Structure 1
Amino acid sequence: MTGTVLVTYGTTNGSTARIAETIEDVLRKAGLTTEVLAARAVASVEPYDAVVVGGGLYAGRWQKDARRFVRRHSRALAERPVWFFSSGPLDASASERDIPPVPAVRRAMTRLGVREHITFGGCLEDGARGRMAGMILRSGKGGDFRDFAAIEAWAAHVADELGRA
């Protein structure tokens, strides 16, 4: 593929942004032209030939900017290769087994013909915004559960698929 790949994300406290940046870095090192942007900053997906969309998981839902991005750009997304990722489990479960997409993400995948979805561990550390985040941190259930080796491996897989396109 010779076009540009958009890696976009919805995040509240920055954890999903760091995952998106890692994915973009792997794609770029694989020789692809890339751009990484927060979902709320994307005006159009028309300039892009493929899109990777990620959303942080909050109470069983994708972060609102990721949801809005998919809704707003659904026609254009359906016309190009798209991959989804989620981040959120605050434990090692994402590294131990495949975690399926939440129901609304699964429905969007079907509607848009998304090629693949993966769930990565999340990160919630001191200073996180939100009442629920504060409650989770006070209960001692925060921490960084992102597996960057797994993120890089998945991004390399996406790069391979794009290279064959």
Structure 2
Amino acid sequence: MTVQRVLIAYGTKNGSTAEIAEWIAEELREQGVEADVRSAANARDLTPYDAVVLGAGLYAGRWQRDAAGFARRHRQALTHLPVWLFSSGPLDASAMERDIPAARGVARTVTRLDARDHVTFGGRLGEGAQGFIARQILKQGKGGDFRDREQIRTWAHGIATELTRAAEPAHRG
């Protein structure tokens, strides 16, 4: 069986989405898939990879700009690879309670890249967050960590299953 190599690229302002990317990588590695985690701003060459997972924090219904730029810059290459997308953002339990559809711009990216899947995970906003709006949300007492690590690992496990199944040689009978 050929080991699959996956790039997990992310766009984040305050680090929450980067942690989600690391959790995804941990699960993929546990399932025998090689996984590299890179900031979308620093991920340049896709040729070593068999698949890409791209995620971003949502801000005012839009993906963080590094991830959106990555999707635009690498659109041609991404259309020839299996791609999974994720968003992080809701600062409440909604992402744990139900599927949240992709924001409009993200939905266009899903279509343009013919992504295998998109999921929205809860977000995290804690003390020291950057940005005026983030500080206002914290002042109102609406911060917190709404990420569900088990939900994230389960989603990543599904990706690993799909990739390892695709890498298995066909059996002759």
- Number of the residue aligned with 1:104: 105
Q: Secondary structure at the match of 2:127?
A: coil
Q: Which residue of 2 aligns with 1:160?
A: 161
Query: Match for residue 21 of structure 2?
Result: 20
Deviation at 1:3, TM superposition (A): 3.2
Structure 2 counterpart of 1:26, which letter?
A: E
Q: Extract unaligned runs of 5+ from structure 1.
A: none
For residue 130 of structure 1, what is the aligned residue in structure 2?
A: 131
Task: Give CA-to-partner distance per residue, 1:21-79, whole Å, 9 cap, x none.
Answer: 00001001100111000100111212111000000000000001110000000000000
Aligned length: 165
TM-score by length of 1: 0.98
Q: 1:108-123 alignment to 2 at 5 Å?
A: 108-123=109-124
Note the alpha carbon deviations across 1:96-120, whole angstroms, 9 max, x for none. Answer: 0000111111111111110000000
Q: Which amino acid aligns with 1:78?
A: T
The one-letter amino acid of 2:28's match is L
What corresponds to 1:36 in structure 2?
37
- Following TM superposition, the consecutive aligned residue runs of length 4 or more in structure 1 with deviations greater than 2 angstroms are none
Q: Which amino acid aligns with 2:67?
A: A
Q: Which amino acid aligns with 2:12?
A: T
Aligned-partner residue type, residue 67 of structure 1: A
Q: Could you tell me which runs of 5 or more consecutive residues in structure 2 were left unpaired when the two chains were aligned.
A: 167-173
CA RMSD of aligned residues (A): 0.8
CA contact under 8 A between 2:4 and 2:164: conserved in structure 1? no
Among all aligned residue pairs of Structure 1 and Structure 2, give the percentage whose two residues are the same amino acid. Answer: 57
Residue identity opposite 1:143 in structure 2: G
After TM superposition, give the deviation of residue 2 of structure 1 in Å.
2.4
Aligned to 1:59: 60
- Code of the aligned partner of 2:7: L
User: After superposition, what is the alpha-carbon deviation per residue over 1:112-163, rounded to whole angstroms, capped at 9, x for unaligned?
Assistant: 1100000000000000000010000001110000000100111101111111
Contact map agreement 2:86 2:118 (CA 8 A) in 1: yes
| Equivalence for 1:3 | 4
Say which SS state the counterpart of residue 53 (structure 1) adopts: strand
Aligned residue in 2 for 1:146: 147
> What is the CA–CA distance in structure 1 between the aligned matches of 2:121 and 2:21, rounded to whole Å?
11
SS of residue matched to 1:117: strand
Q: Secondary structure at the match of 1:40?
A: coil
